[in-house]
Amino acid sequence: MTDMHAPLVLVVDDDQDFLEMTRAVLEKGGYRVACAADPKTALDMMIGEVPDLVITDLMMQNLGSGFSLSRRIKETPHLQNVPVIIVTAAASRLGYDFAPRNAADLAAMSADAFIEKPMSPKELLARTDGLVGGGEREKRS
């Protein structure tokens, strides 16, 4: 059972398998996890409780769904400090290259980190720990 004081991570993706795999890794790492299958549901969920981190897929209903969600988060006063990780398999599946080259590219995406799918559980936890307060997971273990 996850500690109710553990940081909350909201995972947004229309791929149920990705949601479940990510939930399992993050919960094992000591995080509370909420999942949404689309950006609108995610934004509605953030009215009830502001997450400590949002991990969103880049492509859901359309090519830029993740970009739109991250921009909405950063433009909403009570959410603007929530870190956002954008994940995508677009490069490997479709040949698109969305990877940011520098901090300015990342800022233009309204994101705090960018990860290519598939990602290892170790990379996921390292990025999450780094954005949620670094080392908190080890303290909770």
State yes or no: pLDDT of 140 exceeds 50.
no
To the nearest whole percent, how much of the chain has pLDDT over 90? Answer: 60
Mean pLDDT, the chain, rounded, equals 85
Residue 98: closest CA among 74, 83, 116? 116
Query: What was the pLDDT predicted at 138?
Result: 46
Give the chain's domains with CATH numbers. 8-129 (3.40.50.2300)
Lateral strand order in the sheet of 113-116: 32-36, 8-12, 53-57, 84-88, 113-116
Distances (CA, A) of 17 to 12, 24, 30, 47, 70: 12, 11, 20, 26, 22
CB atoms within 10 A of CB 109: 21
pTM for the full predicted model:
0.86
State yes or no: pLDDT of 98 exceeds 90.
no
Cβ atoms of residues 131 and 53 within 8 Å:
yes
* Helices (H) then strands (E): counts for the chain: 7, 5
CB atoms within 10 A of CB 102: 8
Please give the Cα distance from 116 to 99 (Å, whole number).
Answer: 8
pLDDT band at 69 (very low <50, low <70, confident <90, very high): very high
pLDDT per residue as tens digits for the range 109-136: 788 988 888 889 999 999 999 999 754 4
